[in-house]
Structure 1
């Protein structure tokens, strides 16, 4: 018995000693982060400068963009929301961080989006040279020629979408039943993406039962699951553990919707590979270019099958979410401002005599108010609300005239930048498309004003990480808005507040005139509830 007591005492003593060591290390880390860290002089909330847990907490809640925005109000143009992170709300800082020659790479944040180690994509690759190579290959799918060709598919789907809405209205001249616009636009954009990426529409916009109608919701669940992992304060440990079995654990614990989405991607790519091999005349959609891409050094296929599946998953998310988020925003603000909505309708209906004339070309691109409404919608609701993080490389980086050492995570916050009053003035939170159009009349925007606005406006990012599909997205949004409003009138359903802020949501989200989003890397949203009516001829 005495041996047992001695062993028990030894264990207890060992536990106490371990606890003391851990406590000492934690306390030492706190003191280091507050007083001796190279970023100790950068302002931010006390607990955020101590630990990454507050930032992670707000990522889990989906309101990290609002938390960051509030910090800029309190501390100024730069903040330290995590011990090793500095974020900015300043156009000059944006240029320093995201320019082509900036001494940075994509942060480890992006690597955490990988399901398995060998599924590197244009999004998840952080090695500078490898990322540049993947972008070059992916760019083959987004040439000017391919965008012009894609416009025919977009028109086909938009016309069918409008036809479905019109059929539900019937012959009456009344307003349609109320619809959640986000639900409607998600189905349209997803079908367009399917046609352009996989050579077939998934037909989720069509009436009736279709098991694939859940996929846009599954994408949202996928992002909700992975985003907190990417924002974890233990990210480096997680990245080390993932190829050592943690990725399999994540697959096991992922929600059913996430597994269903992964199965959908697997089956879609399998079907498209089969079609690719059977076709005598190859359909030159995005998948075709990815499948046929060759490594310039070896002449072998550039993508292994796992990489191809991962890249297609990225195309699905980026191709459907970016445009649909912006369109939800555009129509939220237009239906909340009937006068500006009518002004846009007037421009479209006087520029074109028939819907057949609305194609991607000079006439559509000359619709200045249409482009201004699109830009203003993208400004107020960035597709990515929080930062695109970058890691400073060896040699450091000068941002806004100050040096930041290698290893520092830096970035700007689109949600905060789009509401920067130093750039956009006192009405920064207002939907005012006129700010993008030169107007010599008193109070109108000058060329200098617009140049200042553009310095803070980067909906497709820029530099090495800029969106390859930005011309495709602009074409798609322009055609959807123009061809819809040429044939249909639209209004906010009377009494509806879905999509707008609410006082119960707290600071930064209480304004009912602002589209409220959930930060899950991309901006998740609902609403507005709208009604359609056929145009009176």
Structure 2
């Protein structure tokens, strides 16, 4: 009898709490007037369903359009869940370099629950993030790109050879570029980080477990982030289940740690090479990979750079360095293939650049030249705009004292996020042709001058914002701009399989599961 009374009392307490919560959200919440799905006022289940569908970027765009008032293209703020609001503005008060807004608790599920196993991407401590980034940002600088350039060139050569071989063996010359682009991006990560390719371009079948492992890990993190307090308990259960997101994350970490150990096992030989260079016997011009650079930093600053920093940063390259590049390359070539005038203009620019260098046709262009090819850069920016790799809001937690964004005041500890897809499809910024692939808009903005170029750059948020801008952006741009000129010179291509092509799923990255093209070698 006493047990039943306790049970009834517990149920009654839960129901009373639920009624009070609903009443507060409907009648007293300072943000009760913000539009959004009715269910999203009371529970995170609506947004959970939205993310699980794999089409969150489209659903959030639809919400902003649905609730826009007359004269607006997008509603400035919409509700996705209790205490979670999507905005259309990259406001400095939450994304600026000097902001006091931290990353939200949603990012807790992007790391191992153990506090000592922190990583740079989800790090919420602003001061610690700045300190760690300051230590290693030189490894990602444009100056460092020069030392990585030969690594990228080698992987470009391997991919071109792989495509030539595939043309002769694939039915009707139809090839899935999405898969090969990810193999390419991973092999470049291997070269840049550890000094050797993973060999995925040589044997793509060996990459399947790593690729699916990353997909599963990202899906777990994106969904579990809605319930951050449950993450430590959920992770401890899920990591015991093969194929789960937590187990997949551990598998990818294990892969990265094996690569690091292999690299460190070569340290004795590396030490000999350092000695040769120091004594003038070696070749100081030989490229240095990322881990070697970090080991050198550690030698000069053992107190502030430790073994965990080296493993954490090298693993970060694996987790963040392949999908973003592969997705963007697929998007660039999809839009180029669909826009003949763009590919013609880009080929002409590449040919002019090679002629100016008196270079052999189709030879790799140096990084310094690629940076000064306006149409190439415009094509990359336009593809990043139309198909940002990241497809979920960049969540920030409003600071103590609250903050005003999009004309709305948010009290402290509210999650506010800008989805790159919302920012990039806002016709109030990009104009009525916002859905059109038109690289010329970037060149026209430069010619127009004034504030227009700054407005476009400020609203292109594919790489993140403020102090949280992707630390590997320069490496990713090097990988892409090295490959694009080579492929359009070597091959003609057209899309295959119509509507079955370029099907995407969004569980953080808006990733195409395929990108079939019909390739032909150019004479």
TM-score by length of 1: 0.85
SS at match of 1:437: helix
Alignment match, 2:436: 430
Displacement after TM superposition at 1:223 (Å): 1.2
Displacement after TM superposition at 1:175 (Å): 10
SS at match of 1:327: helix
Corresponding position: 1:524 with 2:511: yes
Candidates 266, 275, 287, aligned match of 2:266: 275
Distance (Å, rounded) in 2 between the aligned partners of 1:519 and 1:36: 35
Matches within 5 A, 1:501-520: 516-520=503-507
Alignment match, 1:284: 288
Distance (Å, rounded) in 1 between the aligned partners of 2:108 and 2:292: 26
Alignment match, 2:421: 415
Decide whether the 8 Å contact of 1:295 with 1:301 is kept in 2.
no
Question: CA 1:268/1:301 → structure 2, altered by over 3 Å: closer, same or farther?
Answer: farther
SS at match of 1:366: coil
Matches within 5 A, 1:157-196: 157-169=155-167, 177-196=173-192
Question: CA 1:133/1:301 → structure 2, altered by over 3 Å: closer, same or farther?
Answer: closer
- The alignment yields a C-alpha RMSD, in angstroms, of 2.7
Distance (Å, rounded) in 1 between the aligned partners of 2:236 and 2:295: 27
Further displaced range: 103-112 or 310-319 = 310-319
Alignment match, 1:395: 401
Candidates 236, 239, 242, aligned match of 1:248: 236
Decide whether the 8 Å contact of 1:185 with 1:328 is kept in 2.
yes
Decide whether the 8 Å contact of 1:175 with 1:531 is kept in 2.
no
Equivalent residues, number: 495
SS at match of 2:102: strand
Candidates 115, 119, 122, aligned match of 2:112: 115
Further displaced range: 256-265 or 186-195 = 256-265
Displacement after TM superposition at 1:209 (Å): 7.2
Further displaced range: 110-119 or 354-363 = 354-363
Distance (Å, rounded) in 2 between the aligned partners of 1:527 and 1:434: 28
Candidates 46, 50, 65, aligned match of 1:58: 50
Corresponding position: 1:479 with 2:482: yes
Displacement after TM superposition at 1:303 (Å): 3.5
Decide whether the 8 Å contact of 1:43 with 1:78 is kept in 2.
yes
Displacement after TM superposition at 1:94 (Å): 3.1
Deviations 1:270-327 (A, max 9, x none): 222222354223673222334454599x84252444x544433321121112111111
Displacement after TM superposition at 1:188 (Å): 0.8
SS at match of 2:494: strand
Matches within 5 A, 1:26-37: 26-37=18-29
Matches within 5 A, 1:95-110: 95-110=92-107
Question: CA 1:177/1:165 → structure 2, altered by over 3 Å: closer, same or farther?
Answer: same
Alignment match, 2:492: 489
Alignment match, 1:505: none
Displacement after TM superposition at 1:96 (Å): 3.3
Deviations 1:31-60 (A, max 9, x none): 112322232232222111211121112222
Alignment match, 1:503: none
Corresponding position: 1:263 with 2:254: yes
Question: CA 1:15/1:214 → structure 2, altered by over 3 Å: closer, same or farther?
Answer: closer
Corresponding position: 1:70 with 2:62: yes
Matches within 5 A, 1:207-246: 208=203, 211-230=206-225, 232=226, 234-235=227-228, 237-239=229-231, 242=232, 246=234
The structure 1 segments of at least 4 consecutive aligned residues displaced by more than 6 Å after TM superposition are none
Alignment match, 1:141: 139
Candidates 359, 366, 369, aligned match of 2:365: 359
Distance (Å, rounded) in 1 between the aligned partners of 2:123 and 2:391: 21
Decide whether the 8 Å contact of 2:354 with 2:365 is kept in 1.
no
Matches within 5 A, 1:442-461: 449-461=452-464
SS at match of 1:533: strand
Displacement after TM superposition at 1:196 (Å): 0.5
Distance (Å, rounded) in 1 between the aligned partners of 2:117 and 2:242: 18
Question: CA 1:138/1:362 → structure 2, altered by over 3 Å: closer, same or farther?
Answer: closer
Question: CA 1:497/1:210 → structure 2, altered by over 3 Å: closer, same or farther?
Answer: closer
Displacement after TM superposition at 1:405 (Å): 1.8
Candidates 380, 386, 393, aligned match of 1:374: 380
Decide whether the 8 Å contact of 1:487 with 1:535 is kept in 2.
yes
Question: CA 1:47/1:312 → structure 2, altered by over 3 Å: closer, same or farther?
Answer: same
TM-score by length of 2: 0.87
Question: CA 1:356/1:343 → structure 2, altered by over 3 Å: closer, same or farther?
Answer: closer
Question: CA 1:169/1:402 → structure 2, altered by over 3 Å: closer, same or farther?
Answer: closer
